[in-house]
Amino acid sequence: MINYPYPTNFLNPVPGYPVEVACRFLENSEHYDDESLVKGIFQAVSVFTYYTGNLSCNDATGNTDKLGANAGWNFQSCTEMVMPMCSDGVHDMFFPAPWNVTLFVEGCRRAYGVTTDVNKIVTTYGGRDIKAASNIIFSNGDMGFLSSVSDSLVALLGEGGSHHYDLRASHPNDTDSVRFVRAMEKKYIRLWLGQNDREAQH
């Protein structure tokens, strides 16, 4: 999510392209003994939890959200974007963590006093019937899987892109690809706003 080409600190201080930096500690790990592998994993995790080296404790289990973004995201997921996430430990590499809609809705009610509409995103955006929507830009990094559906459902691919990279402020180390994506986003938004203005005048 924060694999940008320049250092950032909005979650934790990390170097530019922190995923690549972390992966360097595990290169050729198939040849590591157990102790070397654990050390490599520790060093890789430390890129995110202890990059500056100025903490008295490298607490990899602590709350790294200094800005309260998780609280905002949790509220938004309760009120606008219910996104079930679960794992079973069989079909993935994670410990079993089932998702239960009843428990989720009750947790939202207790935490925020809201009644969660689990289908809100489907009724708002059309669910799988995406062709019924218009004026949406899907921007993806290299691993993106979306393609343009129509002139008003546009998919843009940002080479070397990370989650919401195109929405960040410009930076001298931005890639040419993200600069292009931002220019295209502006172009389409101006086009659509102009169409709406013309339609409103008639």
Report how many domains make up the chain: 3
User: How many CA within 13 A on the CB side of residue 99?
Assistant: 9
Q: What are 71-87's pLDDT values in tens digits? A: 788 899 999 989 898 99
Q: Are residues 90 and 134 in the same domain?
A: no
End of a domain among 37, 65, 93?
65
Q: Are residues 145 and 191 in the same domain?
A: yes
Q: What are 41-58's pLDDT values in tens digits? A: 999 999 988 888 887 777
| Residue 134: per-residue pLDDT | 82
In whole angstroms, give the CA distance from residue 5 to residue 24.
Answer: 16
CATH number, domain with residue 32: 1.20.120.980
Q: Are residues 174 and 196 in the same domain?
A: yes
Q: Are residues 137 and 116 in the same domain?
A: no
In whole angstroms, give the CA distance from residue 41 to residue 22.
Answer: 9
Q: Are residues 137 and 193 in the same domain?
A: yes
Measure CA of the first residue to CA of the last residue in the chain; give whole Å. 44
Q: Are residues 93 and 48 in the same domain?
A: no
Q: Are residues 46 and 82 in the same domain?
A: no
Q: Are residues 196 and 136 in the same domain?
A: yes
Q: Are residues 15 and 34 in the same domain?
A: yes
Q: Are residues 87 and 75 in the same domain?
A: yes
Interhelix angle for 101-112 vs 69-79, to 10°? 120
End of a domain among 103, 121, 139?
121
End of a domain among 26, 47, 65?
65
Structural domain of 85: 69-121
Give me the residues of the chain with pLDDT under 50, please: 143-144
Q: Are residues 135 and 174 in the same domain?
A: yes
Whether the Cβ atoms of residue 15 and residue 31 lie closer than 8 Å to each other: no
